Amino acid sequence: MWVLSSALSAARWDAVASSGSVQSMNQTQGQPADVVAPSGPLAPSPKDRVGPGPERLPALLTEIDHVAIAVEDLDAAIDWYRQVFGAEVVARERVDRDGVEEALLGVADSFIQLLTPIREDSPVAKFLQTRGQGIHHVGYRVADCATALEAVKRAGVPTIDAQPRPGSRGTTVAFVHPKGALGTLIELVEA
Ligand code: CO
């Protein structure tokens, strides 16, 4: 009996998927409004329901690598995180190419990245002048930066880096332009 009911549930799910609405399923089959998703062995797994269309993309993001916060005074910011949250610095590095000094505070497998400019012409210096302290970008970890960057380009999203480049900690990174990314500066990080 459970096999039959699961098969029926799956058929109803197909009806929902193809009609695109629970409402029309109710009209055609008279099902109660709270019947939305089937359960049981024939139910679609969550990954079957993601993706914008028939072409299903592999999941490219494997972890939130870091949240980067622009600060005026790196030592003061480190002290603030230590005193308020007991967070500790696990790495500190000057990245001359980007004109910043960063401190990484460990949070499970991710980091809070405190960023401060070391030059007037650093993008972070300009950010602080115009926006003040706050979240500067989000780093998403990926298995392969080049693959993820190509996927971004294929989607027609503008990028800041045309090719992957060295980041801090020996990572390989590429930045996606916030203009095409819901207003968020995104860094793809291959650790
Ligand atoms: Co970063």
Q: How far is the CA of 62 from the centre of ligand 1 (A)?
A: 16
Q: How far is the CA of 140 from the centre of ligand 1 (A)?
A: 9
Q: How far is the CA of 58 from the centre of ligand 1 (A)?
A: 23
Cβ pair 169, 104 in contact under 8 A: yes
Cβ pair 81, 75 in contact under 8 A: no
> Tokens 């210096």 correspond to what residue?
125
Q: Strand pairing partners for 102?
A: 93, 115
Cβ pair 68, 105 in contact under 8 A: no
Q: How far is the CA of 66 from the centre of ligand 1 (A)?
A: 7
Q: How far is the CA of 37 from the centre of ligand 1 (A)?
A: 39
Cβ pair 84, 78 in contact under 8 A: no
Q: Does the global pTM surpass 0.75?
A: no
Tell me how far apart the alpha carbons of residues 83 and 77 are, in angstroms, rounded to a whole number.
10
Superfamily of domain 61-190: 2,3-Dihydroxybiphenyl 1,2-Dioxygenase, domain 1 (3.10.180.10)
Q: What single-letter DSSP state applies at residue 178?
A: G
Instruction: Give residue-wise pLDDT tens across range 98-147.
Output: 899 999 999 999 999 999 999 999 999 999 999 999 999 999 999 999 99
Tell me how far apart the alpha carbons of residues 155 and 106 are, in angstroms, rounded to a whole number.
32
Mean pLDDT of all residues belonging to the chain = 81
What does the domain layout of the chain look like in residue ranges? 2-49, 61-190
